Chain A
Amino acid sequence: MSAVIGCYLRITLAGFHRYSTYRQAVLAGTATNVVFGLIKVGILTAVYLARDGASIGGYDLTTSITYVWLGQGLLGVVDFWSSDDLSERIRTGDVVVDLSRPWNMQAALLATDLGRAGYSAVARFIPQLLLGALLFPFRWPTDPLVAPAFLVSTVLAVLVSFHIRFLLDMTTFWLLDSRGVRGLYGVVSGTLAGLEIPLSYFPDWAQNALMLTPFPSMLQYPINVFVQDGSVLATLGQQLLWVLLLAAVGRLVLARAMRKVVVQGG
């Protein structure tokens, strides 16, 4: 048992190391996140200026600016847009090598992704959190328990994001090319998860509809936990439910796909 866990742990560490080698890319990505963050701060400041500071669904200006830096930092951690090589490996057929290895492929890919997310948390999230906290009005949590809750919520967010990306890659088994599906997801996922503006700015009907989707679990919920908006347990519970559901569906779809795979001799 411990040997099995050790194996996945080592895959996670490998994922961490793999992403830590692209220093230039990480620096450039963070710089891009910061510039977009600055533009968002400008827009949201103008919003509160026009409202004479009146808050929107629990978000005042300070909370909104805190939201911006948390969101920009989490973007790299949660990762909506990575061009996964899994779908390419399915297209070329290399995936049969992965499938025949003595591991659970879904779990192994998840382990790699957690390593990637861990590196992003250190290299992208923390610097932007500090930047936001030092240079802008910032809302630190008032309760020390928020820190562990935020950590759990962020891990759950990464899990939800991973399982959705896994499912999108799985469509390659049937569509042979998942670029269309992944492209559409890339366009809508950020906004629906609360990347562009806080979801509490949305009209009520849209907020209610989004509650029934996994999107807010990937970004808005961890941020809500940090700025102490809403019940923590309800938020974490909803995220956990989505993780379990999506993981189960992913497993099922992979099993179905396995029945489809025909390995040509070679």
Chain B
Amino acid sequence: MADLAVFARLARAQVRGQLSYRSSFVMNCFGQALAQANDLVVILIVFGRVASLGGFDISAVLLFYALSGMSFGLADMAVGSIERLPAYIRTGTFDVVLMRPLGTLLQLFASDFQLRRIGRVLTAFGVLVYVLSTSDIHWSPAKALLLVLTPVAGAAIFGSIFVAANSVSFWFVDARELANTVTYGGSYLTSYPINIYAGWMRTLLAYLVPGAFVAYYPGLTLLDHADPLGAPSWFGWLDTPVAVLAAVLAGLIWRSAVRHYRGTGS
């Protein structure tokens, strides 16, 4: 708990610094919002050519997109700075991280906390509000709870993916881009209904890397839409347990990766 308080203070300091360059911050924020809107434009163009995709109409796909975008944006903001890990390893500054009396992960998360990444979340949130206000969802208290839980659980899933995938850098320091296949690739994949992908790809990127629980299953439950792949509707509620499991696994992977680390001897 005390560790989290230190993390919050470090992050706050970063944000204060970023906000002091007001116009640069606004520009960067806008850039992030635009990056997220880019994927939206692609979906809109596709739906200019088709009425449904994998049996889902545009509002369903936009719901997947919005839930996935919010989850990814929140995760990117909270833990995205772990992408700087290769630089730490190459220059030997990871030694310093190991010396300090604060968890290695929390230090990396706080090292480059970028508030501008909220731009992604805002675009996705705007689309979510639009979709929810235009499609007729039969609301119940349970569904309202699921709607609140989903982006948080999704962010935890993406955050775990960020940590687990970037652990690769301890073995292959130049192969940082490999992590992009499941982080940015995961965000791309989960913006669409997962039943459109080939079976082995779903196994790999939607279940083993649990992308299907970010937006697809919770979205189906919110919409009362039967799963074309045959999963029961309570699968939507699995997002939180899956997120907890993913976080534990990512923590274990990180721990064994850090053990593997040898300083550069500088």
Q: What's the dominant secondary structure at chain B's contact region?
A: helix
Assembly CA distance A36 to B178 (angstroms): 12
**Is there an interface contact between B42 and A197, defined as CB atoms closer than 8 Å?**
yes
Q: Mark A182-204, 1 if CB is under 8 A from B, else 0.
A: 01100110010000110001110
Interface centre among A23, A46, A203 (most CB of B within 10 A): A46
Do A46 and B53 form a contact, CB below 8 Å, given A28-B174, A32-B180, A202-B45?
Answer: yes
List, in ascending order, chain B residues with CB within 8 A of A27's CB.
175
Do A56 and B49 form a contact, CB below 8 Å, given A39-B197, A42-B198?
Answer: yes
Interface centre among A32, A183, A196, A202 (most CB of B within 10 A): A32
**Is there an interface contact between A22 and B42, defined as CB atoms closer than 8 Å?**
no
**Is there an interface contact between B50 and A28, defined as CB atoms closer than 8 Å?**
no
List, in ascending order, chain B residues with CB within 8 A of A28's CB.
172, 174-178
A48 — nearest CB in chain B belongs to which residue?
B50
B48 within 8 A of A: yes
**Is there an interface contact between B197 and A24, defined as CB atoms closer than 8 Å?**
no
Chain A nearest CB, measured from B120 CB (Å): 11
How many A-B pairs have beta carbons closer than 8 Å: the answer is 96
Assembly CA distance A144 to B262 (angstroms): 54
Chain A nearest CB, measured from B20 CB (Å): 15
B46 within 8 A of A: yes
Assembly CA distance A111 to B27 (angstroms): 33
Assembly CA distance A4 to B41 (angstroms): 47
Q: Mark B41-66, 1 if CB is under 8 A from A, else 0.
A: 11001101111111000000000000
A43 within 8 A of B: yes
The count of chain A contact residues (Cβ–Cβ below 8 Å) is: 33
B251 within 8 A of A: no
B201 within 8 A of A: yes
Do A39 and B38 form a contact, CB below 8 Å, given A187-B31, A203-B48?
Answer: no
A50 within 8 A of B: yes
Assembly CA distance A24 to B168 (angstroms): 12
**Is there an interface contact between B201 and A42, defined as CB atoms closer than 8 Å?**
yes
**Is there an interface contact between B38 and A25, defined as CB atoms closer than 8 Å?**
no
Do A32 and B181 form a contact, CB below 8 Å, given A39-B197, A47-B49, A187-B31?
Answer: yes
Assembly CA distance A183 to B50 (angstroms): 32
B35 within 8 A of A: yes
**Is there an interface contact between A187 and B175, defined as CB atoms closer than 8 Å?**
no
List, in ascending order, chain A residues with CB within 8 A of B42's CB.
191, 196-197
Do A184 and B31 form a contact, CB below 8 Å, given A42-B198, A43-B46, A196-B42?
Answer: yes
B24 within 8 A of A: yes
**Is there an interface contact between B45 and A197, defined as CB atoms closer than 8 Å?**
yes
A35 within 8 A of B: yes
Chain B nearest CB, measured from A181 CB (Å): 9
Other A-B pairs, 7, CB within 8 Å; known A25-B176, A36-B185, A50-B51: A31-B181, A39-B201, A46-B192, A47-B49, A47-B53, A50-B53, A51-B49
A and B contact pairs by CB, cutoff 8 A, 12 listed:
A24-B174, A28-B174, A28-B178, A36-B188, A42-B192, A42-B197, A46-B53, A187-B34, A187-B35, A187-B38, A188-B38, A191-B42
Q: Which 9 A-B pairs have the closest CB atoms?
A: A24-B174, A46-B196, A28-B175, A42-B197, A50-B50, A28-B177, A35-B181, A28-B178, A25-B174
